Amino acid sequence: MSKALIAGVGMVKFTKPGKSDEYDVLGAQAAQSALADAKIDYRDVQQAYAGFVFGDTCSGQTALYSVGLTGIPVINVNNACATGSTALFLAKQAVESGAVDVALAVGFEQMPSGALASNTSDRKATTARLDQTVASIQGWDDKAMQAAQYFGGAGREYMEKYGASAELFGRVSVKARSHAARNPYSLFTDPLSLEQVMSSPAIFGPLTRLMCCPPTCGGAAVVVVSENYAKKNGLDNLIEIAGMALTTDTDASFSSGSMINAIGADASRRASATAYEQAGVGPEDVDLVELHDCFSTNEVVSYEALGLCPEGGAEKFVLDGDNTYGGRVVTNPSGGLLSKGHPLGATGLAQITELSWHLRGSAGERQVEGAKIGLQHNIGLGGACVVSVLKRA
């Protein structure tokens, strides 16, 4: 099997719903950016995986046809918030197996404004089992936002279990904005004080509005190549996908009685364990991480699920500054979803793009000095979790 190497990455700046280009333009721009970064012509791409959640069938073809009409297989991917990462997972498999030498993963989303909602109302929701679990653990509030009940409930459980204060989650939002100030691709860059975060409108449980990521529109793409192709074509600035795992739910998500497990902590533990093993590293070796901070509560529980700090140790981890520059592992140097927003199909590939820039040493003012190993974490309820370990090749 060949190593899967990232030869090119690209993304477009995320924007508010109603302010972006059409989805096909977002996807095409991201793909063209990644191909230019790799110095590879689209005619050399042998397979493409296109990720999106809000869109009609064959939206991937619509986006890529303006990049080139080469007749290659274009596979459309929808795996909730982990869609973009799932597209990359498939591209990686295609290259590693020897089926192709060059694969493209592209993700894009033209999001509606407001809280996420199902596209259909005439059939069972894909979150039906999760909703039943949530109702059995904490009850169900028909007036509260669905996702906020999930992640707000997990935050409330964390506080009760470990004696943490709600300010722990607020400090995550403050840190996110401090990182985003150095990122030209971030939507929100104004600094936040802890007082601003805590006094913003209450949403559910410990969550306030400034602890929640906004829906945004955007695109991102990654070009994956084989070792032989890279050597034959003299490619440089390569990043190895040293480990990558895609997990779905087990019974632990639904029968453990834990909101923390219900929102994907168990899936994250299993995915990260596999990715670490494949890469031959441990969490102590990671220099930076882009993790799924759709809500600041999820960032906190993910610290522990990914092994970045001990169970119950997130408050100390944050107060000691171990999640930022000068600490043990720089978490979401991009500003994360809390600052960039969350265009579902593009999110995972934007995380990979950010990590690749750091590992190359080209992340500008937000560069994590000496970065050698990056960790990516992307979770979608319904459910799927992807964890990737990247290394400088």
The residues annotated with a catalytic role in the active site are: 81
CB 377 within 8 A of CB 243: no
At 63, list the tokens: 């986006």
CB 50 within 8 A of CB 74: yes
- The span from the CA of 19 to the CA of 113, in Å, is 10
Which neighbouring-strand residues pair with 376? 290, 388
At 240, list the tokens: 């190895």
Q: Determine which helix (DSSP H) or strand (DSSP E) holds 208, and give its type and residue range.
A: strand 207-208
CB 94 within 8 A of CB 105: no
Is beta strand 384-392 parallel, antiparallel or unpaired with respect to 239-247?
A: antiparallel
φ, ψ dihedrals at 278, nearest 5°: -60, -40
- For residues 88, 278, 96, 64, the Cα torsion angle rounded to the nearest 10 degrees is 10
Integer angstrom CA distances of residue 218 from 123, 187, 265, 350: 29, 11, 27, 9
Integer angstrom CA distances of residue 13 from 50, 220, 255: 18, 9, 40
